[in-house]
Every structure is written in structure tokens, then in C-alpha cells.
Chains A and B, each alone.
Chain A
Amino acid sequence: MGMKWAALGSGRVYFWIMTVPAVVYVVAWRLGPAVYTLWLGLNQYNIVYDAAPRWNHFANYTLLLRDGALRQSIGLSGEFAVIATAAEVVIGLGAAWFLDTDPPGRNLLLGVFLLPMIMAPVVVGTAWGTLFDRTVGYIPYALQLLHLPQPQWLATPGTAMFALLIADAWEWAPLVALLLFAALQAIPREHFEAARVDGASGWQLFRRIILPQITGMILVAAGLRLMDAFLELDKVIIMTGGGPGSSTQFVSMFVYKQAFQFYELGYASAVITLLLAALGVAYWLYLRSYGRALGAANP
């Protein structure tokens, strides 16, 4: 596709003028900082009490290996990411399937459904944080009216995690729905017809025709959400601050606290390096399944 380099002739100069600014910008403000983080991870640097970073012989990494709190954070993040993604895929699939049946006002409905993921995560956190609040929130109030047990939503380890999961599912199920909806729309309608003529029921239709066609996209959407949910930060800061105890101290919150509450930028950078490495592997796997999914969607 496209024009060949040679066809440009003297246009080469323009080409560089057009492309280079973006590349330079990205290298300077996005890649550069990431590389600096790698380097900072090898240094002792407390921004408040150290004058300058100083090499500390991988001490950050030895600390990292025996840091129980970090291990716990990674476990919590993993748990959160997996459950949140599962919930989002189920809800998103349901919504996408429903939208695909062409309900009246579908486009407006889609727009409204997308609102949560477009609004600021801080506002999402605030809305859900107050909804779960004992004093003004309607969730405890509804339970009270129904005479159900009244957990301290944001102050009990299990339910604090649950509240964050609900907020995350609310915010991001629309994204999954959007992607799956696009995939559903791409399925040739003749396939349904053939199956219907064969007398397939709704469920069989879904399992035999729809699911195989959109599995790739489900994987893509799930991969996307897994990676983002693993690094969830904004809503945690607003809703629980990592508490109670350390029961919702996800890995991003751990890094945030190390960097901006304990000022240990070196150690925080080492943890980030670890995360980037893990993320790199995840991304590579994701790109592979993404390629497959696209192959399936556009045969």
C-alpha cells in the first residue's frame, strides 16, 4: 500500500519535517522518562533528604525481592484485575448483544451507556465513594430498608475491594461493550439465517455462531482491561486510599505511596521497572492475540 519512498523525490525533506517533530516529542517526553526510570531504579534517591541520586549496588532490587508488602500488592492487583475484567466482559457482552438486536434509539442508548468511561475517573470514584457512604449513600440505605446486613462498605477489606470492583465495572464495561458491539456488527447476517433455518435456538445460535466469531475480540478487550485494571490508581486514591489496612493497596498505590509519601524515588522506580517488564511481556502476548483477532474479524 501507499507510495514508495522513491516517488517522493525532493519531498524527502518535507517528510522529515512532518514526521520528526512527533517522534522527537515522544522520545523526549515519553520514552526518555521511561529510560530515566530504569536508571533511577538503580539508585538510592529520597527526594527530600538526598541531595542527588547515588548508585546503590542493586539494593533496591534486593529489597524488592523480599518486600512482602509489594508481593501482597501485586497479588491484590492481580485479583482485582481478573475479577474486574471478568465482570466487564460479562456485562459488556450482554450490553453489546442487546444493542446488536437494534432496540429503538440504539445510537443514543450507546452514547449514554458510554458516559461512565468518558467521565473523569476522579468523578467516578467520588460518585461511588459517596454512594457507598454510610451517611449520604443510597447503597447502605437500600440495604437498611430491606433489613439486610449492613457491612461497613469502605472499611472492611472484602467489601472495600467489592466497592472498587463495582466502580471499575461500571466505568469500563462500556468499553468492552463498544468493542464487542463492533465485532458483532461485523458478523455477516447470512450466518444467522443459515443457523435459524437449521432450527437453532437462541442459546445455540450464540454458542455456535456468535461466540466463535467474537472470541478474538473478547480476548483483545479482556487483555486491554486486564492491563489497565492491574495498574488502577485514580479510583483507589479517591475511594479507599489503599485501606482499610493494606487491603486495597494495589500496586500503583504502592508505587504512589513509596514515591510521594515516603519520597523513596529510587525504590519506587525499581518497582516501576519491574512493572514495565511485566507489562512488556503482557503487551507482547496481547499484540499476538490482537493480530489473531483481527485476522478472525477480517478474514
Chain B
Amino acid sequence: MMRSGPAGPAAPARPSPPEAGPRSPHGPTAARPAPLKRPVRPRRRAAPAAVRRRRWHLAGIAALLAWTLPPFLYLVMLSVKPERILIDRSQFLFWPTFERYHDFVASGLGAPIWTSLVTSTLGSLGTLVLAGLAAMTFSFLEFRAKTVLFLLILLPRMFPPVTTVIPIQLMLKSMGLIDTKTALVILFIGFEIPLAIWVLHTFLADVPRELAESAAMDGASLPAIVLRILLPLAGPGLLAAFILCFIFNWNEFLFPLIVTSFNARTGSVAMMSFTAGYKKLQWGALATLGVIMTIPVVLFVLAFRQSLVRGFTAGALKG
């Protein structure tokens, strides 16, 4: 399923922009045939068509960016706008101040970000270990209880956080783990197992079965098959699953809000403490924290766009 998704191997080979050769008699992209491209029929007035297409593209790009970017730019602007003119909305041009970022580091507000980073990372790694092992067996073995087990694991994906927060609070209470980073790691591992299994499952579907099967015929044990054959090939899937888990953990709000107090506050909960400052104008500091919360996400998008796209496509269709 979705094997020809946007980040699939064919995607980078899609046609190049039309300006590459607008005067070519066979249309702009005919010179470089690609498996999925849509050939453009030769037309007599090729140049106007290409120009129109280009204008249409530029207009579309502008619309897309105009839809997506303003809230980001607004947050960035608020975070560097000097306090004195913060509520002066007519002033767009000003000398930016980085005071708030400095304050952020100095005031120890980095601690929640740090907690987020540690718990999200450890949680995602834990998820990867548990889900990775399970996904490999699910992908490469046929057994009777498979469907039942698979459903059992994927079922919790449908429970939104608010439905399980009460018992989990009580469970953590009885284990004495409330307000610890350990509790968050335990929860984060559990949250994304269904997602990770599903994503890995779709990625592993690309690994040729014959490899594992012939190894099994040769008498290799299951751990050997996993270690020698599957693991090296599962890299892209693991990376995509890790990024997805990390992002979801990083963004998680309700659970950290309820089960942590002081020692394990996360970045998204710290955001909340800023939204209702009483006497200060907190907008600037709030925006700063928002920008800082978004930095890892932007980095992930820039560095791993393709894994992310493919992972999300698979993850969204969580069965």
C-alpha cells in the first residue's frame, strides 16, 4: 500500500521545472523521461503555455506559503520585538532584541525543554526496540493468532489521551512514579508502539521476503535472521518511526500536564504557564518558548523530509 507515495524512490525523478527548456519542440520535460511523469503534448504555442504554467505555479507557491507561514513569522517577530513597542501593531520594522532568548537560557526555563528532549528521546528509543522486534515478527511470520495480536496492539491507537489519563494517573500514583521523568519515559514508550509497529510494518513490506525465507531454509535462527538480514534493511523504517515517535512525544500535552508537577515538566506544559501570566505582558516570552519548541521540528523537516512524509503517510493510515 502507498508504495508509490510521495517520498518513494520515484519522487525525486519527477519532471524538472518548465523553465528548463521552454522552447524545446517536445515540451519542457520530454528530454528526461521519468516513470511517473505526465508527458506534455507538443503544442504549437508552447511558450505561452509554459509561461502560463509557470505563472500558475508561482501563484500557487505564493498561496501555499501565505497560508502556512504567517503564524510562524508572527511568533518569531513577537519573540524579538522590543517590549516597549510590543503592542504597537503598526510597527513592523524594528531592531530585533534577543533579550528574551537570553532570559530564557538564564532563567532556567531550559529545564522543561531539556526534560522534553530526554524523555522524548528515551521514550522513542524504547518504542523502537519493542515495536521493532514485534514488527519484524508480524511482517515475516504467518501464525494463527497474528491478526488478533496485531489488532490488539493497534487498537489503542484509537484511544485519545483524555480517555486513559485518569487510570494512568492512578497507576502512577500507586507506583510512586508521579512527577518523575521515568514515568514520562514509560508512558511515551507505550503511546507510540502501535504507530511505530504500523509504520515499520509498511516499510518492512519493501524488504524482499526471499532473503529471510532462504536464510530460514538454510537453518538460520530467528535472531540471526533479524540481526543479519532484517535489521540492516530496516534502517529507513526505523529512522522514520523514530522521528514520528519523537515528534509526537515532544508535542504531547495532556499527560505531562497531569502527571508531572515540578521535576518533570515538559516544554509544552511550560507553554501553558505562560498563557495566563497575570500582571506581565507575557506575549513576548510566550512566543519565544513557542519558537524554541518549534526548532527541533523544523530541523526534522529540513533534514528528514522524505522519511517524515513517508512515515506520516503510513502512520496516518494506522489501521
Contacts and interface: CB of A to CB of B under 8 A. Distances in A.
**Touch A–B, Cβ below 8 Å:** yes
Interface of A: 1-5, 7-8, 10-11, 14-15, 17-19, 21-23, 25-34, 36-37, 40, 91, 95, 98, 101-124, 126-131, 133, 135-138, 141, 170, 174-175, 178-179, 181-182, 185-186, 189, 192-193, 196, 220-221, 224, 227-228, 231, 233-234, 237-238, 252, 255-256, 259-260, 265, 268-269, 272, 275-276, 279-280, 283, 287, 290, 294, 297-298
A104 B71 CA distance: 24
Contacts of A17: 133
A110 B305 contact: yes
Question: Lowest 4 CB-CB distances: which A-B pairs, in order?
Answer: A30-B156, A29-B190, A22-B134, A33-B167
Given A104-B61, A112-B69, A126-B290, 5 more contacts: A2-B139, A98-B64, A114-B301, A175-B316, A276-B163
Interface of B: 1-2, 4-6, 11-12, 14-15, 17, 19, 36-39, 41, 53, 56-57, 60-61, 63-65, 67-72, 74-75, 78, 86-87, 89-90, 130-131, 133-134, 136-144, 149, 152-153, 155-156, 158-168, 170-171, 186-187, 189-191, 193-194, 197, 209, 212-213, 216-217, 221-223, 226, 247, 250-251, 253-254, 258, 267-268, 271-272, 275, 283, 286-287, 290, 293-294, 297-298, 300-302, 305-306, 308-309, 312-313, 316-317, 319
Contacts of A109: 61, 64
Contacts of A233: 160-162, 254
Given A255-B162, A297-B1, A116 B74 contact: no
Contacts of A3: 140-142, 212-213, 216
A59 to B, nearest CB: 18
Nearest to B131: A22
A237 B273 CA distance: 12
A87 B139 CA distance: 37
A128 B312 CA distance: 24
A224 B314 CA distance: 13
Q: For the complex, would chain B's binding face be called helix, strand, loop or mixed by DSSP majority?
A: helix
A52 to B, nearest CB: 11
Contact of A107 (B71, B152, B217, B305): B305
A108 B68 CA distance: 13
Given A18-B133, A22-B134, A234-B254, A103 B75 contact: no
Contact of A2 (B141, B156, B258, B319): B141
Given A7-B216, A22-B153, A122 B68 contact: no
Contact of B134 (A18, A107, A220): A18
B164 A136 contact: no
B221 A10 contact: yes
Given A179-B316, A231-B162, A11 B64 contact: no
A224 B212 contact: no
Given A2-B141, A23-B152, A114-B308, A120 B253 contact: yes
Contacts of B75: 123, 126-127
B9 to A, nearest CB: 12
Contacts of A2: 139-142, 209
Given A23-B153, A114-B312, A122-B253, A252 B171 contact: no
A298 B159 CA distance: 29
Contacts of B316: 175, 178-179, 221, 224
A128 B250 CA distance: 20
B197 A283 contact: no
Contacts of A98: 60, 63-64
7 contacts: A18-B137, A33-B171, A36-B167, A107-B305, A127-B75, A233-B162, A294-B1
Contact of A29 (B131, B138, B187, B267): B187
